Amino acid sequence: MQDVNIVLAEELERLASSYRDRADAKEVGIKEISYVLNKKMAQGKGSNIKILLKKFGALKLVEVREEDYPLFYKEAMKI
């Protein structure tokens, strides 16, 4: 039973972290994200960008949900 509690606690922390990231994020639009992605592409990180897009359920930037922009931007900056 303790293992289930640990798994639940870890999942709740992951969710809380995601909500904290969204609350702390500045307003980010598609232009800012596109700029970052173009910079990363120029650095040869296209495969990392595809992985990030897939994580957000998209094949292209325009398919990323607008409410996910702040978190997507933050993760794109880490690539």
- pLDDT for position 40: 95
Q: What are the sequence ranges of the domains in the chain? A: 2-78
Task: Report the predicted TM-score, pTM, of the whole model to 2 decimal places.
Answer: 0.67
Find the Cα–Cα–Cα–Cα dihedral 33, 34, 37, 39, rounded to 10°: -110
d(CA 35, CA 38): 5
**28 pLDDT higher than 80:** yes
Task: Give the pLDDT mean for 25-46.
Answer: 91
CB 56 within 8 A of CB 65: yes
**pLDDT tens track for 1-16:** 678 888 887 887 887 7
- pLDDT for position 52: 98
**19 pLDDT higher than 70:** no
